[in-house]
Amino acid sequence: MYDKITPPTTGAKITFKKGEPIVPDNPIIPFIRGDGTGIDIWPATQKVLDAAVAKAYKGQRQISWFKVYAGDEACDLYGTYQYLPQDTLTAIQEYGLAIKGPLTTPVGGGIRSLNVALRQIFDLYACVRPCRYYAGTPSPHKNPEKLDVIVYRENTEDIYLGIEWRQGSEIGDRLIKLLNEELIPATPEHGKKQIPLDAGIGIKPISKGGSQRLVRRAMKHALLLPKHKQQVTLVHKGNIMKYTEGAFRDWGYELVTSEFRQECVTERESWILSNKEKNPNISSEDNARQVDPGYDALTPEKKAQIVKEVETVLNSIWSSHGNGQWKDKVMVNDRIADSIFQQIQTRPDEYSILATMNLNGDYLSDAAAAIVGGLGMGPGANIGDACAIFEATHGTAPKHAGLDRINPGSVILSGVMMLEYMGWQEAADLIKQGLGEAIASSQVTYDLARLLEPPVEPLKCSEFAEAIIQHFE
């Protein structure tokens, strides 16, 4: 079955039922060490995970690690250009769950991203990236503890579909000609727009199915959070790109108000309901005026639309959501992408789950990680219905590779996410507690040490892992 690797002789497979993992006490879990700083981060992570599982379950549970290869390490074993060998894909397929270090992707030419390839091959459509603050972590923000968000990033479409044509290529030129001469003129709303003849072309597909399965997962996650964090924000740039970014928002609202009608309220619905709660005799028009403060300046058509929205909401959900019942439901709102970057800094505590398309989520997850301590503190998971791969938000950080100095926190916390996904909460909690206490006592790697005031002597990557383990109780 395998060409150059051999699975561990002990251990059992994780299986999936209705999208949820069924985990034996001794699961076999494939891991990819990763390029660049993967060489430092992975051994530190493995040590912490094993120590936590041993301490939490006293030998009754343990992980059988299965080393599989991708990136430069794979080329060493399998030969030139064998960046993602079939052995690795077979192992992940067979065992259903994996954890990985970062893998290099060249800019411009060269191979396409291996990280993206893995997400697409296994249809890992939700990239889940929590950003929460550990006390004592230095941050450029005054109140970083106020940020506690989970970026739910669509992981298979948008720029990840990767459909592009190089400037000057034969097909690219044909496509531009077809667009300029036939398709754009045939679409009146595009007016006299023309694509420059020297353009490269990229296609940004956003599908209804892809958007809705992501939002569905985000909603299910929101329902498991404490009441005050039960919120999903749909992030988009729908004011500019109406049929991709705008559609993502509309499909998101459609999904939540059909599949989760009893469990959710939209922000606008909550305004309409609370206007009536404060003033039971309010007219539909006055209610509309309060929902949309610019109401009186609108055209008659727009006014009629808002009045109709008010009446529809009151007729359809007043009995199930009115009289304050909506306050116990998941709040679903939406924000335009540029504004959410500002909002997570100025009003961080107003947000919880941020559901995004691919590119917006890529930017947003790095930006949110910066607030809580930087890319050394940004874990993540790529989750599908029959497979999951855990990995940090950051990349290979090549200038730090092999120096035993990089912060392994993000991959360790990705391991925590993996343990939680497996239902091994006791081991996950030990690591969170150990890491929290190490940071609180200023036992940190260079990235955090340089920001502390006064600065402290940094721990090595491997020493930070040891410090976490020493703080297990």
Ligand X SMILES: O=C(O)CCC(=O)C(=O)O
Ligand Y SMILES: NC(=O)C1=CN([C@@H]2O[C@H](COP(=O)(O)OP(=O)(O)OC[C@H]3O[C@@H](n4cnc5c(N)ncnc54)[C@H](OP(=O)(O)O)[C@@H]3O)[C@@H](O)[C@H]2O)C=CC1
Catalytic residues: 160, 237, 338, 362
Q: Is 115 in the site for ligand X (CB under 6 A)?
A: yes
Q: Which of ligand X, ligand Y, Mg ion, none has residue 447 at its interface (CB below 5 to 8 Å by kind)?
A: ligand Y
Our CB check for ligand X shows the closer of 100 and 471 to be 100
Judged by CB under 6 A, the chain residues 356 through 375 that form the site for ligand X are 362
The counts of H helices and E strands in the chain are: 16, 15
d(CA 378, CA 362): 12
Q: Is 128 in the site for ligand X (CB under 6 A)?
A: no
Q: Which of ligand Y, Mg ion, ligand X, none has residue 334 at its interface (CB below 5 to 8 Å by kind)?
A: none
Q: What are the two backbone dihedrals, phi and then psi, of residue 234, each rounded to the nearest 5 degrees?
A: -85, 120
Q: State the residues that interact with ligand Y by CB under 6 A.
A: 102-105, 115, 374-376, 391, 394-399, 406-407, 410, 447
77 contacts: CB under 8 Å, gap ≥ 6:
4, 69, 85
Our measurement of the distance from residue 14's CA atom to the centroid of its chain's CA atoms, rounded to an integer in Å, reads 23
- Tokens 């990136």 belong to 71
Span from 10-18, 261-269, 354-362, 438-446 in contact with Mg ion (CB under 5 A) = 354-362
In whole angstroms, the minimum distance from the beta carbon of 116 to ligand X comes to 5
d(CA 131, CA 144): 10
203 contacts: CB under 8 Å, gap ≥ 6:
161, 163, 164
In whole angstroms, the minimum distance from the beta carbon of 370 to Mg ion comes to 12
Query: Is 239 assigned a ligand-binding role in the annotation?
Result: no
In whole angstroms, the minimum distance from the beta carbon of 397 to Mg ion comes to 12
Q: Is 284 in the site for ligand X (CB under 6 A)?
A: no
Look at the alpha carbons of 383, 389, 390, 393 in this order and tell me if their dihedral is positive or negative.
Answer: negative
Query: Is 287 assigned a ligand-binding role in the annotation?
Result: no
Of residues 113, 284, 333, 343, which one binds ligand X by CB under 6 A? 113
Q: Which of Mg ion, ligand Y, ligand X, none has residue 116 at its interface (CB below 5 to 8 Å by kind)?
A: ligand X
Our CB check for Mg ion shows the closer of 153 and 217 to be 153
Query: Is 407 assigned a ligand-binding role in the annotation?
Result: yes
Q: Which of Mg ion, ligand Y, ligand X, none has residue 410 at its interface (CB below 5 to 8 Å by kind)?
A: ligand Y
Query: Is 187 assigned a ligand-binding role in the annotation?
Result: no
In whole angstroms, the minimum distance from the beta carbon of 162 to ligand X comes to 11
Query: Is 115 assigned a ligand-binding role in the annotation?
Result: yes
Q: Is 105 in the site for ligand X (CB under 6 A)?
A: yes
Q: What is the DSSP string of 231-298?
A: EEEEEE-TTT-TTTHHHHHHHHHHHHHHHTTTTEEEHHHHHHHHHHHH-TT--HHHHHHHHSTTGGGS
In whole angstroms, the minimum distance from the beta carbon of 32 to ligand Y comes to 9
d(CA 329, CA 173): 51
Query: Is 323 assigned a ligand-binding role in the annotation?
Result: no
208-224 and 245-259 helices, crossing angle to 10°: 50
Cβ-based neighbour number of residue 240 at 10 Å: 12
Q: Which of ligand Y, Mg ion, ligand X, none has residue 144 at its interface (CB below 5 to 8 Å by kind)?
A: none
Our CB check for Mg ion shows the closer of 105 and 343 to be 105
d(CA 466, CA 438): 10
Report strand pairing: 126-132 vs 148-154: antiparallel
d(CA 54, CA 48): 10
Q: What is the DSSP string of 8-63?
A: -SS-B--EEETTEEE--SSBEEEEE--STTHHHHHHHHHHHHHHHHHHHHTTSS--
Span from 194-202, 212-220, 360-368, 396-404 in contact with Mg ion (CB under 5 A) = 360-368
Our CB check for ligand X shows the closer of 51 and 68 to be 68
- The CB-nearest residue to Mg ion is 362
- The CB-nearest residue to ligand Y is 395
**Distances in whole angstroms, Cα of residue 82 to Cα of each of 34, 74, 77, 169, 266:** 14, 6, 9, 27, 48
Query: Is 119 assigned a ligand-binding role in the annotation?
Result: yes
Q: Is 118 in the site for ligand X (CB under 6 A)?
A: no
**Distances in whole angstroms, Cα of residue 42 to Cα of each of 26, 71, 252:** 20, 14, 37
350 close to 343: Cβ distance less than 8 angstroms: yes
* DSSP 8-class letter at 372: T
Query: Is 266 assigned a ligand-binding role in the annotation?
Result: no
Query: Is 362 assigned a ligand-binding role in the annotation?
Result: yes
Residues in binding site: 104, 113, 115, 119, 129, 153, 362, 407, 446, 450
Residues in binding site for D-threo-isocitrate: 113, 115, 119, 129, 153
Residues in binding site for NADP(+): 104, 407, 446, 450
Residue ranges binding ligand X (CB under 6 A):
105, 113, 115-116, 362, 393, 395
